[in-house]
Amino acid sequence: MSEETQREETQRVETQRVETQAAPSELHVVVTGATGNVGTAVVRALGEQDAVKSILGVARRATEWTAPKARFDAVDVATGELDSTMHGADALIHLAWLFHPTHKPEKTWENNVLGTIRTLTAAADAQVPVIVVASSVGAYSPGPEDGHAVDESWPTHGWPGAAYPREKAYLERWLDVFEREHPHIRVVRMRPGFIFQRGSASAQRRIFGGPFVPGSLVRAIPVVPDMPGLSMQILHADDVADAYVRAVLRPVRGPFNVAAEPPVDAHTLGDLLGARVVPVRSGLVRSAAAAAWHTHLAPAEPGLFDTVLRLPLMDCARARSELGWSPAHSPAEVLREFVDGLRSGAGLPTPPLAPDSVRGRIQELATGVGARP
């Protein structure tokens, strides 16, 4: 038997051993990005599990928010000391991500790509046996022309015109190598659709709409534009958190699509808002989005709009069969809850999810609307 064959056989045996191992009964789980939209839901869900003994929530900024079984450390994954953070962990759920500054993609690259590499490398050095990583539907290449839903084998090359899909696609390639170099680590990649909850409403208005978009605007939207390709799969933060927890507790590995059915389109939004659906050329909307971004009136780069129109629909059969997962909230329920949160300026008591306020709007302006984190 050649040396290469022996190495492959050793890796195969080790992989089988990890996959058949039962989860320890008292897990210590590290969650990065623990105070964000998904992170808060994941920390809450972990705290409800008997198998989880303790949770270390890691976030760039300190928080006074508390949750059962959890303590929190302020650590920047791009620059902070991570060795002690990973010490003694039975699992890592890596969620840390920056959307801003969209006008300085080198800064988001430093946090999102290099910070992920630093975090997972530290986890490997600390011999953390389970790593669950937040990928995204945004990592996928444009969908098939016939519009059929794709499974996890669809190419993950992203859309090159925006930082978010470029960064997610790059990390998919890096994870390919990481998994080969660390076969003893059970790596799971979660690829969720668009994630909402009432408590994230103000934060997502800040991220994508900016300081000049009032949350109350959703009370008076007369029309919803209908454009080719405008169809999204969404889910509740609590539902995606359930999938993350299952990925920690079950002996699975590899990628999982996670979303609720049916997809949301312009007609769904029109029904929810009581608005007319009007066909609009996507080029007009993109031009308006580009003008708002270039003049610092809105923080979302126009490449994100291009990305959304090209995303494939995801087949989530693997999550249902191997994770035993299914969403508890329908897309209509998720949207109603989120819109209610927008109208009331809802948030949660963490820095990224702070509720809407006049002071907060002033701080948004002070960041240059997409020019600083």
Task: Write out pLDDT tens, residues 123-148.
Answer: 999 999 999 999 999 999 999 999 99
Give the integer Cα–Cα distance in Å for 369 and 274: 30
What residues have CB less than 8 Å from 290, skipping those under 6 apart? 302
Which domains, and CATH codes, for the chain?
A: 3-268+296-366 (3.40.50.720)
The predicted model gives 202-227 an average pLDDT of 85
pLDDT surpassing 90 at residue 1: no
The predicted model gives 228-236 an average pLDDT of 93
Angle of helix 282-294 versus helix 302-310 axis, rounded to 10 = 150
pLDDT band of 218, cuts 50, 70, 90: low
* Per-residue pLDDT at 51: 97
Task: Give the single-character DSSP code of 314.
Answer: B
Strand partners, 32: 58, 94
The reply to whether omega before 355 is within 30° of 0 (cis) is: no
Q: What percent of the chain stands above pLDDT 70?
A: 92
* Per-residue pLDDT at 23: 55
Length in residues, the chain: 373
The predicted model gives 155-166 an average pLDDT of 96
Beta-strand ranges (E) seen in the chain are 27-32, 52-59, 70-74, 91-94, 130-134, 186-192, 194-196, 223-226, 231-232, 234-236, 254-258, 264-265, 276-279
The predicted model gives 59-77 an average pLDDT of 97
The reply to whether omega before 101 is within 30° of 0 (cis) is: yes
Instruction: Count the Cβ atoms, other than its own, within 10 Å of residue 53.
Output: 14
* Per-residue pLDDT at 6: 47
Average pLDDT over all residues of the chain: 92
- Report strand pairing: 70-74 vs 223-226: unpaired
The predicted model gives 111-129 an average pLDDT of 98
Q: Identify residue 100 by its one-letter amino acid code.
A: H
Give the integer Cα–Cα distance in Å for 111 and 124: 19
* Per-residue pLDDT at 17: 44
* Per-residue pLDDT at 189: 98
Q: Reduced to 3 states, what is the DSSP secondary structure of residue 109?
A: helix
CA distances, 371 to each of 7, 68, 294, 297, 357 (Å)? 48, 36, 11, 11, 21
How do residues 322-369 score in pLDDT, each as one tens digit? 999 999 999 999 999 999 999 999 999 999 999 999 889 998 998 889
* Per-residue pLDDT at 213: 87
Q: Identify residue 8 by its one-letter amino acid code.
A: E
Q: Reduced to 3 states, what is the DSSP secondary structure of residue 178?
A: helix
* Per-residue pLDDT at 35: 98
Model-level pTM? 0.92
pLDDT band of 24, cuts 50, 70, 90: low
Higher pLDDT, 359 or 75: 75
Task: Give the single-character DSSP code of 351.
Answer: G
Q: Is the CB of residue 221 less than 8 Å from the CB of residue 343?
A: no
Q: Which of 22-31, 237-246, 320-329 has the lowest mean pLDDT?
A: 22-31
* Per-residue pLDDT at 14: 45
* Per-residue pLDDT at 5: 47
